[in-house]
């Protein structure tokens, strides 16, 4: 999430270089508006059907698809569509993810579980942009780090299913 948010202005400035800053700002507001709508729709849908795990994994895959589209697209509008899909997927993922986590843990485990997940997530919020920035500096392409981020998103989607298969200890 942080990688996309941090590098969106730099990426868009290189892709939309012939436009005014006002127009670039208006265009870059659209992914967030679409993301807001997607977040509401996804949250409502998961509440209606009561399923969280598949939504969590699918949204990470959708975010990866958006980054792949952005990485290989030269048309500025299709590149913006890829960023919009990626941003919508990664931010819409949070609602079903946290609902799933909290429903999977008993009340006494929830504070520790949330703390561990937040610690790992904050570490990822640092590592993702650093890796992306390093790859940009090494290869000279702004989207050079997207491949690593797509890989991380796919690992996250697979981990959702692996964690679900781990047997839970017997509780009194």
pLDDT in tens, 7-35: 776 666 666 677 777 887 888 888 899 99
Residues in CB range of 69: below 8 A, 6 or more apart: 78, 79, 81, 82, 85
- Over residues 37-60, the mean pLDDT reads 93
pLDDT, the chain, mean: 84
Whole-angstrom Cα distance, residue 158 to residue 56?
A: 10
Q: What is the pTM for the complete model shown?
A: 0.84
Q: Which position has the higher pLDDT, 52 or 19? A: 52
Question: Which pLDDT tens digit goes with each residue over 104-142?
Answer: 888 888 899 899 989 988 888 888 888 888 988 898 876
Distance CA 84, CA 133 (A): 21
Q: Residue range 76-99: average pLDDT?
A: 89
Q: What percent of the chain has pLDDT over 90?
A: 31
88 and 115 Cβ atoms separated by less than 8 Å: no
11 with 145: CB under 8 angstroms? no
pLDDT of amino acid 152: 86
């Amino acid at each position: 999430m942080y990688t996309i948010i941090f590098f969106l202005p730099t990426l868009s400035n290189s892709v939309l270089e012939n436009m005014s800053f006002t127009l670039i700002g208006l265009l870059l507001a659209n992914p967030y508006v679409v993301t807001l709508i997607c977040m509401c729709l996804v949250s409502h849908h998961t509440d209606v059907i009561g399923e969280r795990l598949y939504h969590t994994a699918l949204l990470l895959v959708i975010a990866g698809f958006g980054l792949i589209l952005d990485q290989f697209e030269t048309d500025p509008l299709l590149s913006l569509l890829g960023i919009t899909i990626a941003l919508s997927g990664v931010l819409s993922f949070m609602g079903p993810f946290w609902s799933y986590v909290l429903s999977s843990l008993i009340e006494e485990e929830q504070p520790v579980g949330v703390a561990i997940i937040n610690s790992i997530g904050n570490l990822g919020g640092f590592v993702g942009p650093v890796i992306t920035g390093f790859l940009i500096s090494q290869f000279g392409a702004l989207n050079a780090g997207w491949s690593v981020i797509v890989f991380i998103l796919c690992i996250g989607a697979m981990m959702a299913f692996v964690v679900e298969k781990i047997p839970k200890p017997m509780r009194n």
